[in-house]
Structure 1
Amino acid sequence: MATNAPIVIKKVEEVSGGGHHGGGWKVAYADFMTAMMAFFLLLWILAASDEEALRGLADYFTPSLSQSGGRGQGMLDGTVIASNGDQGGSNSPEGDTRLPTFGMENPLAVFDSRLRDTETEAIVEYEQQPDGTMVEKQQEQKESEAERIAAEQANIEQYQAEVKERAENMTRLEDEIRQHIQERTDLSDLGENLRFDRTSDGLLVQIMDKEGRSMFTRGSARVDTRTRDLLRIIGEAIMDMENDIVITGHTDAVPFANNLGYSNWELSADRANATRRVLIDTGVAPARIKRISGLASTEPLNPADPEAAENRRISVLLAYPEPVPPKE
């Protein structure tokens, strides 16, 4: 009975050699591990061997050829070469071909790089002097460096001495002014109106108002009689000094103005200028006064109370002379 069922052909392929489960790669891996083990074993032997053993090992691998004497087996049969014009292979003077000298001079240097390092050669230069003598340049350089260091040290010591001297001068000036005030019975109570401050720019002498005791007439640049005497004492103390002078006037924060626009700015500047005139009348050289200015109430002495009496003051700065800085 005939049917129309399809005919199916099944093809089966046989895999030989085990596929990826074969053992060929294992043989290659085993050879590689054997070579690595031999390599590390060689490194260990070299590291653990003493000098004599290393020298013997190097001698063993040093190439050499017999140039005279016995016989041997092989193509040349121990014949001496190079003397009769045959192509030779020795390091003898008769031969033209040079064999490698690996390890022959110092076999240990092959395994220890420290033995291959050459010592640094020290070259000393000499310089001929006018008298014909030779002087070592290195010694001259040392002496020059020592002289330079000594000069720098001397400059530093001189700079420090100048700074110390100017500080001592300012201390003597302060003591002198206070002593002259104490000697005047009519001015002895004005000691509290003076204030001395050491600043980075110089000695700052400040003449301040106190409650119930003003240095200037309120709202005026006219100098009070006792204030004038106090300024004269200061002028006499600084008359013979060479310090530059900067005079600054200050007021409190109480507004002061009139119909002409005169304010605390003008008042503080006029008081500073009045102080300048008193100092010049005392004998202070006008050229020493480098600047006068009025700052109104912008720099109060008592910031917590801008209207405090001590904010009304005259500042006389005795600038420090510029010391010579140490040379580089």
Structure 2
Amino acid sequence: MSRRSRKKEEATLGGWKGAFADFCMSMMTLFMVMWIVTSADMEKREGLSLYFSDPGVFDSVSSRHMFDSISQGKVVNTTNGGNSVPDRPDPIHFDARGGDPFELELLEMARLHDNIKVTPIPGGLLIELMETDKNQMFRRGEYLLTPFFEDLLLELGPRLLMSGYEMAIIGHTDSTPYSGKGYFDNWSLSFARANSVREIMDFTGFPNRRIRQVTGMADTRPKDAVNRNAARNRRVELVLVDPSRVKEVNPMYGGAYESGRMARSLDAAHNSAARNQI
């Protein structure tokens, strides 16, 4: 006559309790996730979606010494094999009320960074990259960007590329007289700084043919006219404009967006110099 072990029978009968507890825990977790998702507002959902869908440029590129190699003539290729970006996507029409996703993304970047200011203008956007007491944009008397601003532009560049807009880059300095060697004054320094930004835009894939002008304004347009040596006077402006609305923006920047104006001016100067040689 066989006898069943009472302990074995109790263990067998009690096994369902562990499985049921696991099931209850899984259901509780599912309901918690559903509750969090349904209670989050649209802005938080978009933020979560962006966080998990955009790995960011810093996963593949570090800019700390990148432009040192460019200045030495080395070429760095960051494009992935089969990926391609249209040279000029359809322009995104900005809404001053902030309804456009591209504009909302730039405004969110400006909210997170004290060094960025985004202002809607007729036909586009004005993006100001400014120094603060915390983050220096350029070392004194130099034109190369600090690593912080290099990384900032590397993050910004691909977004501007997809906007379909043309760009003017305008450099500004404070009123401190330039005392270094190699550049005569703040005019040439402000231009060199604007051109440094252009080089980074070029590195991110933004085509040079979509950059209408690179300009240096020295200290003639300060943000802080009271303290003309203030940090925020040392800045670079990126003016984004819909090509179809160039005439609206042209008077604001002294005709910088007039098609062919710069080329005609250079040709006239070249011809005048040639005549003087005769």
Report the 3-state secondary structure (helix = DSSP H, G, I; strand = E; otherwise coil) of the residue aligned with 1:322: helix
Q: 1:181, 1:230 within 8 Å by CA — same for their partners in 2?
A: no
Partner residue of 1:208? 130
Contact persistence 2:135–2:148 (CA under 8 A): no
Give the paired residue count. 156
> TM (normalized to structure 1)?
0.43
Report the Cα offset of residue 233 of structure 1.
1.5
User: Which amino acid letter does the alignment assign opposite residue 95 of structure 2?
Assistant: A
Return the letter of the residue paired with 1:176. Answer: E
Match of 1:195 among 111, 117, 137: 117
SS in 2 for 1:223: coil
Larger Rg: 1
Alignment of 1:226-237 (within 5 A): 226-237=148-159
Aligned-partner residue type, residue 257 of structure 1: S
Given the two structures, how large is their TM-score scaled by the length of structure 2? 0.50
Q: 1:267 to 1:166 in 2, by over 3 A?
A: same
Partner of 1:175: 104
Work out whether residues 256 and 262 of structure 1, in 8 Å CA contact, stay in contact via their aligned partners in 2: yes
Pick 1 or 2: higher relative contact order, CA cutoff 8 A, min separation 6: 2
1:249–1:314 contact (8 Å) kept in structure 2: yes
Match of 2:94 among 163, 166, 179: 166
Distance in 1, Cα, partners of 2:173 & 2:246? 37
Check the 8 A contact 2:172/2:235 in 1, yes or no.
yes
Residues 60-114 of structure 1, C-alpha deviation per residue, up to 9 Å, x if partnerless?
A: xxxxxxxxxxxxxxxxxxxxxxxxxxxxxxxxxxxxxxxxxxxxxxxxxxxxxxx
Structure 2 residue identity aligned to 1:303: A
Question: Take 2:99 and 2:128, find their aligned partners in 1: how far apart are those partners?
Answer: 14
- Higher helix content, 1 or 2: 2
Q: Which consecutive unaligned segments of at least 5 residues does structure 2 have?
A: 1-90, 248-278
Q: Residue 235 of structure 2 aligns with which residue? A: 313
Aligned partner (choices 178, 187, 195) of residue 265 of structure 1: 187
User: Which residues of structure 1 form unaligned runs of 5+?
Assistant: 1-162, 183-187
CA distance in 2, matches of 1:253, 1:278: 26
Give the alignment of 1:54-133 within 5 angstroms: none
Could you tell me how far apart the structure 2 residues matched to 1:254 and 1:321 are?
36
Percent identical across equivalent pairs?
29
**Cα deviations by residue, 1:97-149 (Å, 9 ceiling, x for unpaired):** xxxxxxxxxxxxxxxxxxxxxxxxxxxxxxxxxxxxxxxxxxxxxxxxxxxxx
Contact 2:110 2:117 in 1 (8 A): no
The amino acid of 2:226's aligned partner reads A
